[in-house]
Amino acid sequence: MSNKEIIDQGRECVMNTYSRFPVTLVRGEGSRVWDADGKEYLDFVSGLAVNSLGHCHPRVVEAIQRQAETLLHCSNLYWIEPQVKLARMLVENSVFDKVFFANSGAEANEGAIKLARKYAKLKSGPEKFEIITMKQSFHGRTLATLTATGQEKFHKGFEPLPAGFKYVPFNDLDALKKAISRQTCAVMLEPIQGEGGVNVADPVYLRGVKNLCQEQGLLLIFDEVQCGMGRTGKLFAYEHYGVEPDIMTLAKALGGGVPIGALLAKEEVARAFQPGDHASTFGGNPLACAAGVAAFSALLEEDLVSNAEKVGDYFLGKLEALKERFPFVKEVRGKGLLLGMELTVPGGPVVSYCLEKGLLINCANNYVLRFLPPLNISRQEVDQVTSILEEALMHLEEKNGM
């Protein structure tokens, strides 16, 4: 079927919850994808940071094929080797001791909220339940995680929202201090906000948050669903800051393209969960965990974290040069290959122009062009992207008479 035929059929039977582009992607290989009409695109969205190894990485594909022929699903009533292997890899490469597997980032964050409340009630009493999160954050679409998300646009239409969440400005330690009450049990944040517009935590601020949590007996939760797994040029974003959270969540890149999320915690905190407190039928599924083991192995053994840092710096420099060229580029920011370019005008037309020229990019918060390419991209591919982007910005400049 063609792009149009698939889209027309989809509009008849798929629920209308996404603003989709008029393209049907049917195949992917490395950093390239092809639509149903045969057009090729350079993918700098990567499934919103899911395809960090590029599309259909051979090691992930081989692991899925092998696991699918062996054991496709197994209840968590029993142990399975791929789940234990992936948990061990996460523990051995992080500051955490225990792992719980979920299906998505939202589900991992839901688990983090439950764990923080359970731990606080056991340690400090039943009045401890409040979690402070940051404005412009994004933690998911379930009812609790959209409430944790510090953006009103995600709340509208879903009230009444669950109680126990409070929001403060990101990178504002004084505001956080003032917001803490006797009911507060945890602070939850993304070291680098993705959906909120690629906002990077200041190192002094993040260390201040850690100190404040220690002084007040609060848990510190890092949502690394998007910024974890090598995306920022470190394996985990907390490594940039020398700050160890008590709980961390992962998802997007963890399965190399297969849905999986994870909740990691230090031993003392993890002990708060006992059998029956939390569960997930599909969480830690053999297929997803086998893919996760292969993806994690490739990430470490193919030096992709280092590549994200080096090529990310190169890409950042290219974007900075465009900022000097176009006055309506307000700021360029980010770390590794999680980069944003904030405009003073809406970025939608730039995204559409790039799509027409065979480049997939994304716009967060209406004004921030967000770049999330695979971690194994080359400098030549960055050159190709910035060339198209420059054309798009010139087109925008001419169209708006700027």
Does 8 carry a binding-site annotation?
Answer: no
Residues serving a catalytic function are: 138, 223, 252
Residue 273 contacts residue 122 (beta carbons within 8 Å): no
Residues 6+ apart with CB under 8 A from 195: 138, 226, 364, 365
CA distance 140 to 110: 9
CA distance 247 to 240: 17
Q: Which of these, 296, 252, 275, lies nearest to 100 by C-alpha position?
A: 275
Does 141 carry a binding-site annotation?
Answer: yes
User: Which tokens is 83 given?
Assistant: 């789940």
Does 106 carry a binding-site annotation?
Answer: yes
With H, G, I as helix, E, B as strand and everything else as coil, classify residue 348.
Answer: helix
With H, G, I as helix, E, B as strand and everything else as coil, classify residue 207.
Answer: helix
Does 105 carry a binding-site annotation?
Answer: yes
Does 2 carry a binding-site annotation?
Answer: no
Looking at 37-97, which runs of residues are DSSP E strands?
40-43
Conformation bin of residue 171: beta by default, left when phi > 0, alpha when psi is -120 to 50: left
230 exposure class (CB count in 10 Å sphere: 0-12, 13-18, 19+): buried
User: Nearest 10 degrees: CA dihedral of 41, 44, 49, 53?
Assistant: 70
Does 102 carry a binding-site annotation?
Answer: no
Sign of the torsion angle spanned by Cα atoms 144, 106, 44, 24: negative
DSSP bridge partners of 42: 32, 359
CA distance 147 to 134: 11
Place of tokens 């967060």: 364
Does 224 carry a binding-site annotation?
Answer: yes
- At 349, the amino acid letter reads P
Residues contributing to the annotated binding site: 105-106, 138, 141, 223-226, 280-281
Residues contributing to the annotated binding site for N(2)-acetyl-L-ornithine: 141, 280
Residues contributing to the annotated binding site for pyridoxal 5'-phosphate: 105-106, 138, 223-226, 281
